[in-house]
Amino acid sequence: MKPAAFEYHAPTTIDETVALLAEHAPNDGRILAGGQSLVPTMAFRLARPTHLIDINNVADLDKLVIEDGALCIGATVRHAQFHTPACDGVLGRLLTDVVSNIAHYPIRQRGTFCGSVAHSDPASEWCMVTAILDATMVAQSASGERLIPAAEFFETVMTTTLNEDELLREVRIPVLSDDTVYGFQEFNRRAGDFAISMTLVTYRLEGGKIVDPHVGVGGAEDRPRRIAEAEAALAGQAPGDDAFRAAADAAAAALDPMEDHATNAQYRRDLTATLVRRALENAAS
Amino acid sequence: MSDKKDITLSINGRDHKVSVDPRWTLADVIRDHCGQTGTHLGCEHGICGACTILVDDTPVRSCLMFGVQADGKKIRTVEGLANGNEYHPLQKAFMENHALQCGYCTPGFLMLATGILEAQPDISDDDLNDVLSSNLCRCTGYANIIKAVRAARDEMKAAS
């Protein structure tokens, strides 16, 4: 239960960080941010990185500001920084509602938003939020910057399209308009546990009809994603029981759920349908 | 093997100069190399909360930080809670409310509660329940721990 030996690097600039990453990534060198997932994995010796590049002392990675219509979240911004709204308006409130579901209070003091996204646990709330709100990932390597849409970022369990020499420097979430409504629902067996399923929905109303619906599911499949079938069931409909049940059923039918010893696919589908319906009811209320 | 790094840990106001292997967790450095064994290790993978300490006044799990990362930071552990012979209000409340039995999880609960009551002296009962759900206790039971922290909150507020 003790991590294996590694070389420790503590760069203070982004340039230095990506240079170290370029040098050591081919030998399983890794970024260390909050460490709340990486260090337990190392304690189990499931991960044995030979080099850790600690970014906690890197200047300019702690930004949390609105720029060009998006909330920009730097690589060392902690979960706890969302305990109160990080920005005005609907997006700030949404992130604050979601954050209390992430692990526990002391974990949220160290763990980082970008670390969680780069780790790509299917049960990660932030991964789901970025996928459903069409965030953009900013990947930085020694050779430059690359923008990756969330829809092209999550590949499968703990696997993303980030290259091994790239630092997830920043995540940009588009600001939500003031008339956007949202609902979030998560189910797990104990507070702070990994989600068995969770959902985030957003939409706006124009002339009493739903427009721009986003319906997404996390925790149930190998990665979080928007469910086009559920969104189609909502678009142009009046909010209410009929539309919400149709969307919930469409989401459940579209899923390819993960299974484990306690949870079969049908259970996850039924659960997800209930969560989507409740999230839509929350959004409407 | 990796090279050792020389660091200074400020634990409860006293500097400890230690040479650490980067793979050593902060909990192990505090216990094995600074002699402060009040901090307990339970699961060693961030689940149980027994090793909770304050780093720069924020509760964190010392098994999920490496000692080398705490160089120059202000660390507070259970040994620093009492003021001389005067127990901290949380320590008194734990005794008065039978909030410990075997005592293994107690240092973690005390430091978690210290951190949250300093940050949010007016925290509601519900929010306190949520924060205290971070740590595991396997013998005393949670009811008396919650009762004790609520009592300490009320006493600390009245005294401030």
In terms of CATH, what superfamily is B89-159? [2Fe-2S]-binding domain (1.10.150.120)
pLDDT band at B160 (very low <50, low <70, confident <90, very high): confident
The CATH number that domain B5-80 falls under is: 3.10.20.30
10-residue stretch averages of pLDDT, chain A, 285 residues long? 95 98 96 98 97 97 98 98 98 98 97 98 97 98 98 97 98 98 95 92 98 98 98 98 98 96 95 98 97
Domain boundaries, chain B: 5-80, 89-159
Look at residue A192 in the predicted model and tell me its pLDDT.
80
Look at residue A190 in the predicted model and tell me its pLDDT.
83
Is residue A59 domain-resident?
A: no
- Does position B1 have pLDDT exceeding 60, yes or no? no
Look at residue B53 in the predicted model and tell me its pLDDT.
98
Cβ of A105 and B63 within 8 Å?
Answer: no
Look at residue A268 in the predicted model and tell me its pLDDT.
97
Look at residue A193 in the predicted model and tell me its pLDDT.
86
Is residue A185 domain-resident?
A: yes
Question: Looking at residue A29, which CATH number applies to its domain?
Answer: 3.30.43.10
Is residue A1 domain-resident?
A: no
Overall pTM > 0.80: yes
Cβ of A107 and B46 within 8 Å?
Answer: yes
Please, are residues A6 and A38 in contact by the beta-carbon 8 Å criterion? Answer: no
Whether A225 and A159 map to the same domain: the answer is: no
| Length of chain B counted residue by residue | 160
- Does position B96 have pLDDT exceeding 80, yes or no? yes
Is residue A36 domain-resident?
A: yes
Residues of B in CB contact (< 8 Å) with A are 1-3, 5, 21-25, 28, 44-47, 49, 52, 58-61, 63-66, 68-69, 112, 115-116, 130-131, 133-134
- Structural domain boundaries enclosing A146: 64-174
Whether A252 and A185 map to the same domain: the answer is: yes
Look at residue A191 in the predicted model and tell me its pLDDT.
79
Whether A47 and A79 map to the same domain: the answer is: no
Question: Looking at residue A160, which CATH number applies to its domain?
Answer: 3.30.465.10
Cβ of B45 and A40 within 8 Å?
Answer: yes
Please, are residues A112 and A33 in contact by the beta-carbon 8 Å criterion? Answer: yes
Distance from CA of B160 to the nearest CA of A (A): 25
**Tokens in use for B3?**
């090279």
User: Span B88-102, mean pLDDT?
Assistant: 98
Is residue A2 domain-resident?
A: no
Question: Looking at residue A278, which CATH number applies to its domain?
Answer: 3.30.390.50
Residue that finishes a domain, picked among A157, A174, A191: A174
Look at residue A1 in the predicted model and tell me its pLDDT.
78
DSSP track, B34-59: S--TTS--SSSSSSS-TTEEEETTEE
* A-B C-beta contacts closer than 8 Å: 86
Is residue A109 domain-resident?
A: yes
Is residue A158 domain-resident?
A: yes
Cβ of A1 and B22 within 8 Å?
Answer: no
Distance from CA of A187 to the nearest CA of B (A): 16
State the best of B61, B62, B68, B105 to mutate against chain A, taking most chain A CBs within 10 Å.
B61
Whether A81 and A146 map to the same domain: the answer is: yes
Is residue A165 domain-resident?
A: yes
What's the structural domain count of chain A?
Answer: 3
**Tokens in use for A139?**
């990947």
Residues of chain A with Cβ-Cβ distance to B25 below 8 Å are: 2-3, 39
Residue that finishes a domain, picked among A159, A174, A189: A174
Whether A41 and A73 map to the same domain: the answer is: no
Please, are residues A281 and A234 in contact by the beta-carbon 8 Å criterion? Answer: no
Q: What is the rounded distance in angstroms from the CA atom of residue A235 to the CA atom of residue A214?
A: 10
